[in-house]
Homo-oligomer: A and B are copies of this chain.
Amino acid sequence: MRHFLLLVVYFLYLIQNVHATENRLDMAAQRRATNIHHMDTIILLTYVSIMVLIVLTAWAFKHYRLRFIHESGVTLFFGLLIGFVIRYFGLGLLESQTFDVITKNRTIVKEPPDYLMLEVKPEGGSRVSFHYELIEGFFADKRKRKEQQIEQKSVFSPEVFFNMLIPPIIFNAGYSLKKRHFFRNIGSILAIVFIGTTISCFGTAFLMFIFTTIFRMGFTFKELLFFGALISATDPVTIISVFNEMNVEADLFALIFGESALNDAVAIVLSQVIENFSTASEAITLHDVGQAVAGFGGVFFGSLTLGFGIGCLNAFVTKMTLIAEHPLLESSLFVLISYISFLLGEVCGLTGIVSVLFCGIAQAHYTYNNLSTESQNSTKHFFHMISFIMESFIFCYIGVSVFVTNNQKWNFGFLLFSLISITAARAMFVYPLSFVLNIRRRPQIPKRYQHMILFAGLRGAMAFALAARNTATENRQIIFATTTAVVIFTVLINGGLTAWMIDYLKIKHGKDAIEEGQRLERGMNNLNQSENPDDPNVPVSMAPPGLNPWDKAFLPRKWYHFDASFMKPLLTHATPSLEQTLPPLCLPLTSLLTSNRQKAGETSTPFEDSD
């Protein structure tokens, strides 16, 4: 103990003799780090607190069955409120320094460089160069420099949206897809998604072009096409959760959910193709259009194949190894590989969103069955929760951005006409397409479904994120502001009126819808039994649940057969195994690819799906 005291005294002696030779730069860096940290945590705290409020409000709304405004509406509203506070109250008053600079050789800069380098000469020290990075999406307002730091800090880079926030939401859409009803309506969904979204994109662009030409607003057709593409991405969140609560008819649910799950993908590919379009040539030729269509197909199906392939790869790994013994590693692998499907898609010049969506579908269809029970639960809850949190955050952020970002330029004429033309463009495909589909479809898409689909055209995260990506010019800023307003408007108005609309259109819900579903089911099963026996290769117990007896299409049926006799035995522990489904010729190979569980015939129970 005495030694320790002696040490302490000696310490103090030492310290007394050390003069403060602290470097100015060190102290400045210290102060700056503290400031930045303080600001970052304040902003994060604000967002997270709002989200706690949102969760509590959402619970209260669910508990007291309030439906006049939906939780995403509430989220938007809170966001707007916070943005307002940040903008007009003292929150932004943090000290920061901004210097005006010119290039060293005094040339005029025509394009902003990515980095600047400034030499700093601290008192009594030697020169040090500091690096500065260009901030996108933030424009200086010379009158109020001090206030801007917190505003700017509370703006996220569009990169964060695309790389971090949106992929889990889309993956979850694929992973939690209710496959039964989805595949029963697959034909109509694909028609709405591909043809519908394209019509909506071009229709909006065309109507807006007429309008902007009349009012001489100086938008190019390409800019408006881009606007048309991004605004065609509908967002399911609000409507779907009302549908879920009210138990509406399953087919309508499948149509609207299917559209919104897939059309983000189409919209993003369309907007990419449009962006890359015509930057080379002065005018658009038919050849360019052909190339664009081919590009669209290539990118969409390339991304689809990539994502689905990665999902299959994960299924294969989980089947052939015993990683299920370590659920933590297994579920981490699952999450990481799913994220890779997004990143690899982006790196390869494809569309990560499409890729991650189909990876989610493959993971649900194959990998899910190989996972340990613990991982099945944990991956499901993980993605469900992450996607809920990300979604709430995005809606909150959309609200905040109205007041805080400086790269939104409001033009109310443009906004008003946008609302009209996106509704018109949506009507342009809903009714004609339903008419065409109804020629062969049984049961038909009744009028009340068509009205509901038109009404369900809410916009959300994807449209916002696409618009936020490039706001360099004034036109882009008008597009960004308009998109934000359209999102807010549709979520508040259409979202709030959904429950009322369901009643008004006399759409069956609750008990009625369940009875209707059971009636249809019985009808289908009868049809199934009378029609299926013509395909003796598929045992009745293995008939895929989504097989639509009314769908006479050749390709889907081929796919189901291939899936049941090759993909599932290859990628999961399902029986019959490859040894049974493939010709005996391939025995050495099939034996290798058949797991012990399959050999023991352990999973002779019906194949389980994630829903």
A81: Cβ under 8 A from any B Cβ: no
Contact between B113 and A119, CB atoms less than 8 A apart: no
Q: Find residues 36-55 in chain A having any chain B CB closer than 8 Å to their own CB.
A: 36-38, 40-42, 44-45, 48-49, 51-52, 55
Contacts of A58 in B (CB 8 A): 329
Number of copies of this protein chain within its complex = 2
Cα(A44)–Cα(B345), bound, Å: 12
Cα(A112)–Cα(B388), bound, Å: 41
Contact between A343 and B118, CB atoms less than 8 A apart: no
How far in angstroms is the closest Cβ of chain B from A558? 29
Q: Find residues 155-208 in chain A having any chain B CB closer than 8 Å to their own CB.
A: 158-159, 162-163, 202, 206
Total interface residues in chain A, CB < 8 Å: 140
How far in angstroms is the closest Cβ of chain B from A17? 8
Cα(A159)–Cα(B123), bound, Å: 28
Contact between B22 and A220, CB atoms less than 8 A apart: yes
Binary interface encoding of chain A residues 131-162 relative to chain B, with 1 for a CB under 8 A from any of its CBs, else 0: 11111101110100000010010000011001
A541: Cβ under 8 A from any B Cβ: no
Contact between A329 and B59, CB atoms less than 8 A apart: yes
How far in angstroms is the closest Cβ of chain B from A224? 10
A520: Cβ under 8 A from any B Cβ: no
Contact between B132 and A202, CB atoms less than 8 A apart: no
Which of A297-305, A468-476, A544-552 is near enough to bind chain B? A468-476
A553: Cβ under 8 A from any B Cβ: no
Residue on B nearest A131 in the bound complex, by CB: B135
Partner of A220, one of B21, B42, B114, B335: B21
Contact between A335 and B389, CB atoms less than 8 A apart: yes
Contacts of A120 in B (CB 8 A): 109-112
Which of A319-327, A571-579, A600-608 is near enough to bind chain B? A319-327
Cα(A111)–Cα(B289), bound, Å: 55
Which of A99-107, A509-517, A526-534 is near enough to bind chain B? A99-107
Contacts of A108 in B (CB 8 A): 121
A115: Cβ under 8 A from any B Cβ: yes
Contact between B52 and A340, CB atoms less than 8 A apart: yes
Binary interface encoding of chain A residues 274-285 relative to chain B, with 1 for a CB under 8 A from any of its CBs, else 0: 010011011110
Contact between B118 and A109, CB atoms less than 8 A apart: yes
Contact between B20 and A381, CB atoms less than 8 A apart: no
Cα(A24)–Cα(B12), bound, Å: 64
Contact between A279 and B329, CB atoms less than 8 A apart: no
Contacts of A119 in B (CB 8 A): 100, 102, 109
Partner of A103, one of B28, B49, B56, B100: B100
Known: A381-B382, A470-B33. A98 touches B111 (CB 8 A): no
Binary interface encoding of chain A residues 367-379 relative to chain B, with 1 for a CB under 8 A from any of its CBs, else 0: 0000000100110
Residue on B nearest A71 in the bound complex, by CB: B329
Contact between B14 and A209, CB atoms less than 8 A apart: yes
Contact between A374 and B385, CB atoms less than 8 A apart: no
Cα(A45)–Cα(B101), bound, Å: 36
A117: Cβ under 8 A from any B Cβ: yes
How far in angstroms is the closest Cβ of chain B from A15? 4
Contact between B14 and A328, CB atoms less than 8 A apart: no
5 contacts between A and B (CB under 8 A): A48-B336, A96-B114, A100-B119, A130-B135, A132-B135
Given pairs A28-B472, A109-B120, 7 additional interface contacts (CB within 8 A): A29-B470, A115-B132, A129-B142, A133-B135, A331-B381, A332-B389, A374-B381
